[in-house]
Chains A and B, each alone.
Chain A
Amino acid sequence: MSHPPDHGVSRRSFLKGSAVAGIATTGITAATKAAAGPPVPESFGPGEHEITLSVNGAKKRVKVETRTTLLDALRDRMDMTGAKKICDRGACGGCTVLVDGMPTNSCLTLAMDAVGTELRTIEGLSNGDNAHPLVKNFVTCDALQCGFCTPGMVMSSLACLEKRGKPTPEQMRQDLSGNLCRCGTYGRVMEAIDKTANGGGK
């Protein structure tokens, strides 16, 4: 598995930086300046800072703390509640969003880390009744029961399709292996992916 490209402040560099307080902010600022994208605050201290995130093609300003995860920022500060915090450990995939096309656990990503990336969330796959074929196929294949894992499943399935075109069952299992479902929908999620790959739901 490859990792998403590093954009500015990584969790590690932030932790390193906070350990030596003020001096380290220079290092962080330098790192963020080097990254492509809109300007970010010059320094990070306690309290909230306004950042700009690009979500589903729209620029959105949001106030976050340095410790605020991307998931909490989306859910609690931007009212995008599709992604779910299920395990809060990167073990279940319920919070999956696409960061520059890569399926990413937003519970393990700092909101500030996402500055300068293109974020795609479940909310971007529909507009009223007009939805992405994959979303429609989730419904027609009944690839959901309680529906709580579903937004994460859809995003991982989307990444699978975009990466592979027509994935084999083994590839689907691989790409869904980070997503847990307690109701037992895996097989029908794979049917929905397959149906989408073959042009269904358009």
Chain B
Amino acid sequence: MATPNTPNPNTPRAVEITVGYKALSPNQKDRLEKIEVNPAEGDAPPWDALTEYQTVGTDVDRTDGMQKATGRAKYAYDISFPDLQQAMILRAPIARGILKSLYLDEARAMPGISAVVALKKDGSKIRLVGDAVAAVSGKTLDMVRDAIEKIRADYEAEQHNVDYLMDEEAPMLDANGQLDEEWDEDSKVDKALADATHTHTGTYRTEVQTHSSLETHGNTCRWDGNNLEVWASTQATFGVQGELARGLGAHNVKVESVDVHAEFVGGGFGSKFSAGIEGLACALLAHAAKLPVKLMLDRHEEHTAAGNRPSALMQVRGGIDKNGKITAWDWRSFGGCGYNGRGGAVRYPNYYMGDAATRRKHKDIACDTDPARSMRAPGYPQGWFGAEMFLDELAAKASMDPLAFRLKNDSEAMRLDQWQFAADKFGWDKARAKKNDANARYVTGVGCASARWGQLGRHGGRRQSYGVTCRIHPDGMVEARNGSQDIGTGLKTVLQILTAEELGIPASRVRGVTGHTSDPLGPASGGSTTTPSIAPAVRHAAFLAKNKLIALVAAHLGVPEGDVTCANDKVGTKNAKLDFTEACKLVGQTPIEVHGERYPNYRDKPFHPGVCGAQFAEVRVDTWTGEVQVTRMFGIQDCGLVIAKKLAESQVIGAMIQGVSYAVHEQRIMDQRSGRMLNGDFLRYKITGSKDLPDIECHMHSVANGHNNTGAAGLGEPPSTATAAAIGNAVFHAIGAPVRHIPITPEKVLAAIASK
């Protein structure tokens, strides 16, 4: 028992750390400050802005890069077994109605068919073209396709609508595509607008974008008694585990345990949180067939029935005072959703509005299509496009430079530094001042937009905190394991780098392992939470393992543990050191194994509650054809501590390329008559390719936030918020008229030029 004189070991002790960042360029200042934080007892001591790193922030190669580049990496789609059965889903051809009857016997009797399961009962509702009706497994996909053709399904079709703007709840648009409805009264906003020096109103639209992960959704399932093993293309291993156990129980299939593997995942971008009907179907087929089954969606199914970023219609009116400060901001938006009428909410950058009178209204509208799923910063790229483009139009009314206008209104100090740094790198002043020849066929323009996201990681799920297993093997190899998935973001490399840093060894000695639910709990890869959630547990695990190794070495050398350190691949004191691999031999036959825990973030206010970024784009527009080519981009992005620099850059550049795609290429095209998607393939659903690629540069801005022992923040989504908006503004600059509707296709550009 603790006596009154002994400090309670559970009382956290305050530690002073330095947070912030060093000057981005010589003409800026260091933004460093000291704060007090209270780490949990036993946690690794916090790293901060003054920490000198050996491996963190360097260009370590992606740890699973060789497996991927040699084709050896096994994705769910690549898993194979003797007797593996291939499977497909029969999908409804009507957008709305009832499944009247389903006849499966003929399909069952086809050659090579191992199982057929109904996924809907007679009388079930059909909600979209592509609703899953039944599934078939067999020896080859060709045989399965033959059998699917033998299924008879009768439907009773009902009137459908696949265009949310045709819904009776949708607002009216005028001939110019501007929202044409009165605003409700609001005394504060109305007064601010009346008092404003300049006001402006604009309607902005975005279209449905499909995630287009290159590996489609799907799984390979194998039963052993009542135990199910699943190789899933997922961004939520633990989510799939729970969902399948529940789903199979609901189908009266006895399941004692589900093990999920997702060692390699071919992209997700927010669409792969659920096992989905394809996951359940695969498990049911494998159960019925008593053989392993693989069920991967084909590309058309992926486009039509595996989620999307919903479309948005936004109208903004706003005003500024004579100094260029925003004084009024009135926003109303509509989300064009799938049949469940959810997921269309949009956000806008609210750090520009200061004390302005603001109002925000939103409404989701349903139509008979595939429901929305979260997609890389859900709601952000839509809202940022509307808001940031509105800012440029407002600035133009006041004859202000868009960057100067942002510098005046942006309330986030960190981004003010970023704006200036990035504008210099991009050459904004010169590019913005460049005048296009009035008669030139090709015109150029530049634009900018901000990026924002707020994710500093979570400590765990509802019942359990996240964790990491660290093992130091007697041969000198170190393992760091977590059950979450690396969907291409680099989580394995993050495990590797942080462990190497803590142990003072080269990264090549560490193996980062992810994607098995037998390993400690981790989050779904959504909301840019994976790295910020897991990183502190990686460090804690490595810290605990290090202390165990230090104890062994201290005993071996006959020195106090406090004198022993791990650094430069050696363990020991100033005078007596062992090579790390020599030290590991002291471990004996069984490796050191420890469990690192993810403690909650320090309660103290961090340096910054989220992450900031800024992007600049240059476009070239062919005024004869209306074609837009994005020629150059520069982005600066913070993500707290930059752990794997090369990988972080890849992710930012990749988000910008996806943004180019969103701004000028991508659009789901629905046929109102049949209710079908007309371009559900990669021939007609255009995504950015090598010839559309701008010259892209990015700068990773490492910031010590002081929110936990590592200080990593989310990175996947933030850079995707800004790109389409920056490109929209660049097109506005180039042609002198705004195209307020993405994708910015040639016909919209020509119409905008004609409207001048």
- Chain A residues with a Cβ under 8 A of chain B: 65, 67-68, 72, 75-76, 79-89, 91-92, 94, 121-123, 125-126, 129, 131, 135-136, 138-140, 142-151, 154, 172-174, 176-177, 179-190
A149 touches B71 (CB 8 A): no
CB-contacts of B95-139 with A (<8 A)? none
Chain A: CB-nearest residue to B75: A148
Could you tell me the distance in whole angstroms from the C-beta of B660 to the nearest C-beta in chain A? 9
Q: A81-B71, A139-B66 are in contact. List 11 more A-B contacts (CB 8 A).
A: A67-B142, A87-B299, A122-B71, A126-B72, A135-B66, A144-B65, A144-B68, A145-B489, A145-B654, A148-B75, A154-B71
CB-contacts of B132-161 with A (<8 A)? 140-142
B78 touches A81 (CB 8 A): yes
Please, how many angstroms separate the alpha-carbon atoms of A150 and B67 in the complex? 10
> 19 A-B contacts, Cβ less than 8 Å apart?
A68-B142, A81-B71, A81-B74, A86-B682, A87-B681, A88-B298, A138-B65, A138-B69, A140-B61, A142-B62, A145-B488, A146-B267, A147-B73, A154-B69, A154-B71, A180-B682, A182-B214, A183-B267, A186-B690
9-residue interface stretch from B540-548, B645-653, B742-750: B645-653
- The one of B69, B77, B489 that contacts A150, using a Cβ cutoff of 8 Å: B69
Contacts of A177 in B (CB 8 A): 689-691
A180 touches B214 (CB 8 A): yes
Contacts of A187 in B (CB 8 A): 653, 693, 696
Specify the main secondary structure of chain B where it touches its partner.
Answer: loop
The list of the 9 closest CB pairs from A to B, nearest first, reads A82-B71, A146-B488, A147-B68, A148-B266, A184-B654, A184-B657, A122-B71, A139-B65, A81-B78
Per-position binary interface string of chain B over residues 711-751, scored 1 when its CB falls under 8 Å from any chain A CB and 0 otherwise: 00000000000000000000000000000000000000000
CB-contacts of B639-690 with A (<8 A)? 646-647, 649-651, 653-658, 681-683, 687-690
Given A183-B654, A184-B688, CB of A144 within 8 Å of CB of B69: yes
Chain B: CB-nearest residue to A170: B691
Chain A: CB-nearest residue to B211: A182
Please, how many angstroms separate the alpha-carbon atoms of A78 and B392 in the complex? 57
Please, how many angstroms separate the alpha-carbon atoms of A147 and B72 in the complex? 11
B651 touches A145 (CB 8 A): yes
Contacts of B589 in A (CB 8 A): none
Chain B: CB-nearest residue to A181: B214
A186 touches B689 (CB 8 A): yes
Size of interface on B: residues with Cβ below 8 Å to A: 58
Could you tell me the distance in whole angstroms from the C-beta of A3 to the nearest C-beta in chain B? 19
Given A146-B266, A148-B75, CB of A184 within 8 Å of CB of B655: yes
Contacts of B682 in A (CB 8 A): 86-87, 89, 91-92, 180
Could you tell me the distance in whole angstroms from the C-beta of B601 to the nearest C-beta in chain A? 27
B65 touches A173 (CB 8 A): no
Residue B265 is within 8 A (CB to CB) of chain A in the complex: yes
Contacts of B340 in A (CB 8 A): none
Please, how many angstroms separate the alpha-carbon atoms of A121 and B714 in the complex? 37
Chain A: CB-nearest residue to B658: A184
Chain A: CB-nearest residue to B65: A139
Could you tell me the distance in whole angstroms from the C-beta of B512 to the nearest C-beta in chain A? 15
Residue B163 is within 8 A (CB to CB) of chain A in the complex: no
Please, how many angstroms separate the alpha-carbon atoms of A13 and B152 in the complex? 33
Please, how many angstroms separate the alpha-carbon atoms of A179 and B75 in the complex? 19
Contacts of A138 in B (CB 8 A): 65, 69
Chain B: CB-nearest residue to A76: B140
A144 touches B62 (CB 8 A): yes
B69 touches A145 (CB 8 A): no
Which of A139, A145, A176, A177 has the most chain B CB atoms inside 10 A of its CB? A145
Residue B419 is within 8 A (CB to CB) of chain A in the complex: no
A82 touches B140 (CB 8 A): no
Contacts of A91 in B (CB 8 A): 681-683
Chain B: CB-nearest residue to A65: B142
Which of A72, A149, A184 has the most chain B CB atoms inside 10 A of its CB? A184
A148 touches B267 (CB 8 A): yes
B70 touches A84 (CB 8 A): no
Residue B269 is within 8 A (CB to CB) of chain A in the complex: yes
Please, how many angstroms separate the alpha-carbon atoms of A187 and B657 in the complex? 10
Residue B623 is within 8 A (CB to CB) of chain A in the complex: no
Given A180-B682, A186-B689, CB of A148 within 8 Å of CB of B215: yes
- The one of A72, A76, A84, A154 that contacts B214, using a Cβ cutoff of 8 Å: A84
Chain A: CB-nearest residue to B77: A84
Given A94-B214, A144-B65, A180-B214, CB of A121 within 8 Å of CB of B654: no
Please, how many angstroms separate the alpha-carbon atoms of A148 and B486 in the complex? 13
Could you tell me the distance in whole angstroms from the C-beta of A96 to the nearest C-beta in chain B? 11
- The one of A125, A135, A151, A179 that contacts B690, using a Cβ cutoff of 8 Å: A179
